[in-house]
Chain A
């Protein structure tokens, strides 16, 4: 029989009782709980690949493997011109020509940049779903896999990384960490708790469902461009 939502305890207790019976566990579970808490506190890591040399170089290499593109910029004020250059250089088939649009949205932290001076029409608002271009920052990035880490929050509307056809992310090289473990450690250290969403993005949205042929832009962006600033 289905358990009504209004009384979910019965199903919960039944499942936990069946788990204990299956594991032949009886009596006090205090010792097991203490062992579990100790494991959580220890935060043991598994074997990790060695990363020789510069984290930024590794990040750029791996991001390229995941079909992201990367450009290095000296400072933040150069971002609008770089975005304009990137859009102009896109060579799109006629069916996708509309994606070259110079209008889009950005996270509030980029509101003050001189977008108009670069010939761009960028609004600092969360995307509604029909924007061509989304410009975001990111919390940190992972060198091992070329991954951008985006955390949810009032000033970091996450869908802006995903709904527009083109996602351009601004990343500071000193925010590149070696592996996923280091990204989690950074979040714990700087934020205390994990936010609602940790979105780890490695290149454009892709599908291989039809005849195992890889197509970019399945549901999310067709392309991800990373501006390494600083």
Chain B
């Protein structure tokens, strides 16, 4: 996928004025946010469950080499082929090679963020094969010329049903439908034929289970179950970090994932697949492959933002982020939006291509509070901001301003003098209503709102006056 994260500010500006998007984003809060909160009470001690989830993910990451070996051994023992991909190009090459080996012509695909990283669908089509996205949201994006997803759980959160109706009428050559139910039924009919005629199913993997050599797939639509049960080949692709040791660990994480994602107690379909089908079985894949992907993950593992690898892709951080809630997912310019995207994107595509993202946060820690595996997202954003500064990636005027500020801040006398002058000048500029309507060097702030002017004396002056009393 093309990276356009450095256009964050420009895109966000456009999105803020996109009335339809704003209307759709406004639904996030009543749906995802409230549903999540209401579902937490079903777990007696959600905080303890979060801590257990964090521990499970850390246990896997701390000795990831060992868990990968155990996974590989157990998956192979059940007749699956485990392949490793070092980079996005490897992922695409492996999928095409597997397809060629089994004379595959049509592929049904289950939503997979890791396959978005390598733009797998484009590679499949370039090789002359057919690929059909089966998650309804991803399907809508595919028939709209591969529009980018705007949310990792609800990829077409930004679209209205009218837009979908237009797309379906055009892509399917059917009379235009108007209701959401009719649209879903039409998609069901179209996709049903693809499930029944596909040669290969490509899925992501919510978890790889080391104990059993299995992949866990979680959906509400049931598209993962169909895509991996009917075609003769199943390829499950996921990152090296998605390993969990045991099925018991899966049970714990499944108390966190659906509640954090959609506020459901459980997702409608939770599938655990292990190896190809056995003798006498009517349904199920005859050939099973795992593609275990690095693509920059070992870079994160060895970095100061390692905790981001705990992520289980629920989307709660973006649902609760005041920035995401206002600008939507496209502004982030790559596969992963929101707070977790502001860490993963710079780490996967390079900080110089995405340094706007860790800066696009108020550090309010709503994301950190709701994260089911306790990733300290604002701390990680701060670390990436520091890296951007120390590597000289920030613009000259920002670096000059920060240097000037640190020069003054390190000299208390000078600082007191500067602030005494500063607050008086600002009070003067503000005039009678006490508000500054336009700041010459801070137009980014005052374009959208007024700045309340200081009262005319510094904190230290007020403190001294009070102490003397």
Contact = CB atoms under 8 A, between A and B. Distances in A.
A66 to B, nearest CB: 7
Contact of B137 (A24, A201, A209): A209
B63 A32 contact: yes
B406 interface: no
A91 interface: no
A23 B64 contact: yes
Contacts of B84: 3, 8, 11-12, 14-16
Residue of B64, B262, B268 with most chain A CB atoms under a 10 A cut-off: B268
A215 B188 CA distance: 11
Contacts of A196: 273-278, 281, 284
A3 B93 CA distance: 8
Interface residues of A, number: 83
Interface string B331-360: 000000000000000000000000000000
B271 A200 contact: yes
Given A200-B269, A201-B268, A215-B184, A19 B301 contact: yes
A212 B27 contact: yes
Interface stretch (B66-74, B413-421, B439-447): B66-74
B440 to A, nearest CB: 43
A102 to B, nearest CB: 22
A5 B90 CA distance: 10
B137 A22 contact: no
Contacts of A217: 184-185, 188
A43 B188 contact: no
Contacts of B277: 152, 196
B228 to A, nearest CB: 8
Given A20-B65, A199-B225, A215-B180, A210 B266 contact: no
Nearest to A224: B268
Contacts of A95: 182, 185
A154 interface: yes
Contacts of B140: 209-210
Nearest to A211: B161
Interface stretch (B47-55, B200-208, B393-401, B425-433): B47-55
A49 B281 contact: no
Nearest to A153: B281
Contacts of B301: 19, 22-23
Contacts of B31: 208, 212
Report, as a range, how many residues of chain B touch the other chain.
35 or more
B408 interface: no
B99 to A, nearest CB: 11
A49 B42 contact: yes
Contacts of A195: 274, 278
Interface stretch (A70-78, A110-118, A157-165): A157-165
A97 interface: no
B283 A158 contact: yes
Contacts of A218: 136, 184, 188, 220-223
Contacts of A29: 63, 65-66
A207 B49 contact: no
B214 interface: yes
Contacts of A203: 268
Given A196-B273, A215-B184, A152 B281 contact: yes
18 contacts: A21-B298, A22-B298, A22-B301, A23-B62, A32-B66, A39-B245, A44-B248, A49-B43, A154-B279, A159-B230, A181-B251, A202-B268, A209-B137, A212-B157, A217-B185, A219-B192, A219-B226, A220-B269
Interface of A: 1-5, 8, 11-12, 14-16, 18-25, 29, 32-33, 35-37, 39-40, 43-50, 62, 65-66, 95, 126, 129, 144-147, 152-154, 157-159, 162-163, 179-181, 184, 193-213, 215, 217-220
